[in-house]
Amino acid sequence: MQGTLSEIDIRSILQLIELGQRTGYLEVEAFGGENATRTLGSIGSSRDLKTRSQEQFWIVFFLNGQIAYAANGDNSLSRLRDYVRRYKVDAALDNVSVPSIATLNAPEYGYLWNLLETHIVTPAQGRSIIQSMVRETLFDLLGLRNGSFIFEIGPALEPQLTTLEIGPLVTHIMKQVQEWKQFHPHIQSPDQCPIIVDTAQLRQKLPENTFKILEHWADGKTSIRQMARYLNREILPVARAIYPYIQQGWVQLLYPTTGATASNRELTSYPETGVPRIVFIDDGIATCKAVEYTLKQYGYAVAAINNPLKALSLVFQIKPDLILCDIAMPDLDGFEICAMLRRSTAFRQTPIVMLTGKDGFIDRVKARMVGATDYLTKPFGDSELLMLVEKYVGPCNPNLSQKTQLSLDALEEEIAEIDPSTAKP
């Protein structure tokens, strides 16, 4: 089952899955950068929100017509880190090994299971986290009007910790979605960050304990969504609690100050010194030449490789800051390469961007499920390529790149001597 949300809405899709007692997963992609926060209220500047809101994928897993887990399309661990913070064990994520389960279709779920298996998180805490993740995801999805979806019947996500009935959950969250609209125009998105602008008025009007709580969280950096995660609450009650103070003008809402979301900043390695290193993998000789030429012109150190089997050798040697990988290649396709790299701790946080075709919705679904960070639609122009590269590794100074590029060239030549098929096109 697949189509667009103009043909059938999310609520109806969920009802069909429940009635059919289906097992599998539902993948939803927003159209044109739109996400749920745009449809939950009439927003004055959709262009601004488009640049501020990067998450456009959601995945919901089902077991016999019930929801087992839901993800927001972000392959970093920022969301899980927020949820385990309520139990004061978020630092443990830095020492958790790459999970042996669920790494291809739900990496976050796999890391949560590692926390359970190592007794860092209890089963009760794990169930609470999954329930919160499902509610948060459905809150976004049930307000989404424009997008594509695909439902695939398949084996259940293993192992299961809990399942949730769809009917009561959807009814509950639909009421929240309707109430959320009443906050407009004062609150436009759960990703906005509250900040106190009139401390004296708030201190005078609020009980001291309430004021201290608000003062702690309303720092201009913590979003309403994050506050809900930390406090073990749903998004709507948190927004409702601060809404009167926003109306009075004592609290204001800010968007993140950069175009990248927090999750993207976590995934990205921005070299403070030196030159960003980029590996481009594509079996097309002309494409490799064009991309390498373009990125070198702007100061990046680039290794463009048209042999996917040997590309992994170079990737492990140079540990690039960004990997761009085509999907359709002989011997080893982009999905397999991405999955292999994600199994290594060395590339757990390295941005991996997959190159997909114009009508590659299913390819983008698969790319997300093997751990890809983003995708770039082919054919693409120089400006699109540069925007994506700057998004993940930042701009570069052309005057600094020569030494780094020479070292990459030397590595490529060394590999080419071992196997001539890997020589530069």
Find, among 140, 136, 139, 146, the residue nearest to 30 by Cα: 146
Phi, psi of 140 (to 5 degrees): -70, -50
| Contact predicate 278/295, CB 8 Å | yes
SS3 254: strand
C-alpha pair distances (Å), 341 with each of 24, 100, 278, 351, 352: 25, 14, 15, 11, 9
Copy the structure tokens of residue 65: 């017509």
The one-digit pLDDT tens for each residue of the chain (425 residues) are: 888 888 899 999 999 999 999 999 999 988 754 443 333 333 233 333 333 334 478 889 999 999 999 988 666 688 899 999 989 888 888 777 766 554 456 778 888 888 998 999 999 999 999 999 999 999 999 988 888 899 989 888 888 889 999 999 999 999 999 999 889 888 888 988 999 888 888 888 888 887 888 888 888 889 999 999 988 889 999 999 889 988 888 888 887 653 333 333 333 333 444 678 899 999 888 888 889 888 888 888 888 888 877 777 778 777 889 999 999 887 788 888 888 888 777 787 889 999 887 666 778 888 888 888 888 888 888 888 998 998 888 887 665 445 445 555 554 554 444 444 444 44
268-422 fold: Rossmann fold (3.40.50)
Helices 224-231 and 235-248, axial angle in degrees (round to 10): 130
Report the SS3 class of residue 373. coil
Give me the pLDDT at residue 409, please. 54
Of 29, 26, 9, 35, the closest CA to residue 360 belongs to 29
Per-residue pLDDT, 254:
84
Residues in contact with 82: Cβ distance below 8 Å, sequence separation at least 6, in sequence order: 90, 226, 229, 230
- What is the model's pLDDT at position 44? 30
Q: Tokens 């968007």 identify what position?
A: 255
Write phi, then psi, for 290 (nearest 5 degrees). -65, -45
Domain residue spans of the chain: 2-183, 193-254, 268-422
Can you give the pLDDT at residue 40? 37
Phi then psi for residue 172, to 5 deg, are -65, -45
HSE (side-chain half, CA atoms, 13 Å) at 17: 33
> Are the beta carbons of 41 and 181 closer than 8 angstroms?
yes
Alpha carbon distance 332, 26 (integer Å): 27
Provide CB contacts within 8 A for 95, sequence distance 6+.
none
Phi, psi angle pair for 155, to nearest 5°: -65, 155
* Cβ-contact 140, 15 below 8 angstroms: no
CA distance 121 to 109: 13
